[in-house]
Amino acid sequence: MSYFPLLMNIDYKKVVIVGGGHVARQKVEALLQTKAVLTIISPTVTGKLQQYINDGLLTWKEKEFEPGDLDDATLIFAVTNDEEVNNAVEEATQHWQLLSRADAKGRVDFINPAVVRRGEFVVTVSTSGASPGLTSQVKKDLEEQFGNHYAEYVSFLKEARKQILQAFTGDTKKQLLAELLDPQVLQWVEQGEKQECEAWLQQRIGEQL
């Protein structure tokens, strides 16, 4: 299967998760990084999910799945341990709604990649469903390769890029944007020397003005 990868804005959209086990917890933790409005449909939930519910982060309907539970949902996760229930969720899903089945059976509108998040820096991995175990392993490598300092690094790049776009056009703009990716900048961030980055940026901008 050749999937189309994308990063979706699902803020304020309704997302329904059918099932409250470990896989539901995994999906919820990924979804909690957004401002989507989450509802779990399940007779039981794990301890961690119960905590999120107590903290008011999502709504729990403590019941077995019924088709009406999907009303107005943009994304639907069928993550129960019962294939018949997942089939019923699939049957109740309208053509305009997007369905993910944790058992990878039947209709598959999307699958979930592993995600490494460092602020606005996001790396995703998938094997298109071939080997979730490999996906998980590669994610661990990426977590090491892209440490927490990438959040600050990308935040600096964003601000610097904004300044460059405001002040320059054409070749100068292109040249400065390319220079911004000098590995020295990343090294300064990693070493906690953010002021060096700022000074370097202001000097480079000053030289071109």
Ligand X SMILES: C[C@@]1(CC(=O)O)C2=NC(=C\c3[nH]c(c(CCC(=O)O)c3CC(=O)O)Cc3[nH]c(c(CC(=O)O)c3CCC(=O)O)/C=C3\N/C(=C\2)[C@@H](CCC(=O)O)[C@]3(C)CC(=O)O)/[C@H]1CCC(=O)O
CB atoms within 10 A of CB 119: 14
Contact 111, 129 (CB under 8 A): yes
CB of 69 to ligand NAD, least distance (A): 9
CB of 104 to ligand NAD, least distance (A): 7
Alpha carbon distances (Å) from 101 to 47, 84, 159, 184: 22, 12, 39, 44
Structure tokens at 4: 């189309």
| Residue count (the chain) | 209
Which entry of ligand X, ligand NAD, none binds 39, CB below 5 to 8 A by partner kind?
none
Which entry of ligand X, ligand NAD, none binds 127, CB below 5 to 8 A by partner kind?
ligand X
Binding mask 91-110 for ligand NAD (x = CB under 6 A): -----------xx-------
Q: Looking at residue 69, what DSSP letter applies?
A: G
CA distance 131 to 195: 44
Structure tokens at 208: 């071109």
Q: Which stretch binds ligand X (CB under 6 A): 91-99, 122-130, 176-184, 201-209?
A: 122-130
User: Per rule CB under 6 A, is residue 129 in the interface with ligand X?
Assistant: yes
Strand partners, 59: 39
Residue closer to ligand NAD by CB (options 142, 177) is 142
Residue closer to ligand X by CB (options 119, 132) is 132
| E strands present in 75-198 | 75-78, 98-101, 114-118, 121-125
Q: Which stretch binds ligand X (CB under 6 A): 40-48, 132-140, 143-151, 180-188?
A: 132-140
* Given 33, 50, 94, 128, the residue binding ligand X (CB under 6 A): 128
User: Per rule CB under 6 A, is residue 43 in the interface with ligand NAD?
Assistant: yes
How many residues make contact with ligand NAD (CB under 6 A)? 21
Largest CA distance in the chain: 67
Binding site for ligand X (CB under 6 A): 26-27, 30, 100, 102-104, 111-114, 126-129, 131-133, 135-136, 139
